[in-house]
């Protein structure tokens, strides 16, 4: 009896220890950014001080510099606008494409799916030069619309490939039953398949928005005016002057931009994992 209790206690201890260590590891970047954002410059650069302790009273000077000496608020709005538009475009294109590829019989469906996914693997450093020519010809240079046009070039291929795998996990009998009940194929898709595929659609939305927030190459190539910049370009451009790094303001900007995305992941983590593992369909 005692040995069984010891095994149970040992298993629970090991499990909670692993979860605790993983939690500390994942939360460390946010804690580090938060501490750095409120530390005074002298306290931050003193090598004798413990970086996790405040030897001087916390300050708001770094956050004030971020919002008063830069257009950080506008950069956030620009990033949110581009992200929402790109997510909408990605869903409109990738969801029907993934469904069509999943229901395409024979080897062509799989080959087309692989071909679409391979386009996602092409590095942006090879594409931004020809895409810049396209942007200039369309007179969209130095405009947020250039990013709205270009970003789907790498969000749609992966999202279509992801949705194709998800739709393949949905039995065709579900659609056929809906069509027997009087729905057209399009009606069965929207009223039956789409609700079942909500986890995959949510995965595509979060994935696309995250890529937009962290993308740098296209944003720094197509945008030159300060008021049109996104967070990924504006923060390092105006808070790094030569070899001088405004670490407090940098960490504050990164923390403010990353927390909403982290909260979004936290609220929908179960559906997000189900979307990637296709575990929502039993």
- DSSP element (H, E) containing 201: helix 198-214
HEC per residue, 212-230 = HHHCCHHHHHHCCCHHHCC
Q: Would you place residue 273 in the very low, low, confident or very high pLDDT band (cuts 50, 70, 90)?
A: low
* C-alpha to C-alpha distance for 114 and 135, rounded to whole angstroms: 28
* C-alpha to C-alpha distance for 281 and 257, rounded to whole angstroms: 34
pLDDT, greater one: 44 or 2: 44
* Pair of tokens at residue 8: 């149970």
Determine the 3-state secondary structure of 184 from DSSP. coil
* C-alpha to C-alpha distance for 87 and 117, rounded to whole angstroms: 18
Percent of the chain beyond pLDDT 90?
15
Helices (H), 54-143: 61-68, 72-103, 107-120, 124-137
Which of 48, 22, 49 shows the shortest CA–CA distance to 35? 49
Q: Tens digits of per-residue pLDDT, 234-243?
A: 988 888 887 7
Mean pLDDT confidence for 6-30: 82
Mean pLDDT confidence for 36-50: 87
Task: Check pLDDT > 90 for residue 85.
Answer: yes
Q: Residue 86's pLDDT is what?
A: 94
Q: Residue 260's pLDDT is what?
A: 82
Q: Would you place residue 88 in the very low, low, confident or very high pLDDT band (cuts 50, 70, 90)?
A: very high
Residue pair 249/136 in contact by the 8 Å Cβ criterion: no
Q: Where are the domains of the chain?
A: 2-59, 62-277
C-alpha distances in Å from residue 219, one per residue of 75, 91, 139, 265: 12, 22, 16, 24
The superfamily in CATH containing domain 62-277 is MetI-like (1.10.3720.10)
Task: Check pLDDT > 60 for residue 275.
Answer: no
């Amino acid at each position: 009896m005692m040995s069984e209790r010891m095994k149970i206690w040992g298993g629970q201890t090991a499990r909670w220890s692993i979860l605790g260590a993983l939690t500390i590891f994942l939360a460390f970047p946010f804690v580090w950014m938060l501490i750095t954002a409120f530390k005074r410059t002298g306290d931050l650069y003193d090598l004798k001080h413990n970086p996790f302790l405040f030897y001087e009273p916390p300050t708001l000077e770094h956050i004030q510099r971020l919002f008063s000496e830069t257009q950080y608020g506008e950069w956030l709005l620009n990033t949110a606008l581009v992200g929402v538009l790109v997510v909408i475009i990605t869903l409109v294109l990738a969801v029907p494409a993934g469904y069509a590829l999943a229901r395409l019989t024979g080897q062509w469906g799989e080959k087309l799916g692989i071909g679409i996914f391979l386009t996602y693997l092409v590095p942006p450093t090879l594409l931004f030069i020809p895409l810049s020519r396209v942007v200039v010809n369309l007179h969209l240079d130095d405009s947020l619309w250039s990013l709205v046009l270009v970003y789907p070039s790498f969000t749609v291929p992966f999202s279509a490939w992801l949705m194709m795998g998800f739709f393949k996990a949905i039995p065709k009998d579900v659609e056929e039953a809906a069509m027997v009940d009087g729905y057209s194929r399009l009606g069965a898709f929207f009223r039956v398949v789409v609700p079942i595929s909500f986890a995959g659609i949510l995965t595509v939305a979060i994935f696309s928005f995250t890529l937009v927030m962290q993308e740098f190459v296209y944003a720094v190539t197509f945008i030159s005016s300060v008021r049109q910049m996104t967070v990924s370009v504006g923060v390092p451009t105006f808070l790094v002057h030569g070899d001088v790094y405004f670490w407090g303001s940098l960490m504050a900007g990164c923390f403010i931009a990353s927390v909403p995305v982290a909260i979004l992941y936290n609220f929908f983590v179960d559906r997000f994992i189900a979307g990637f593992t296709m575990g929502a369909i039993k």
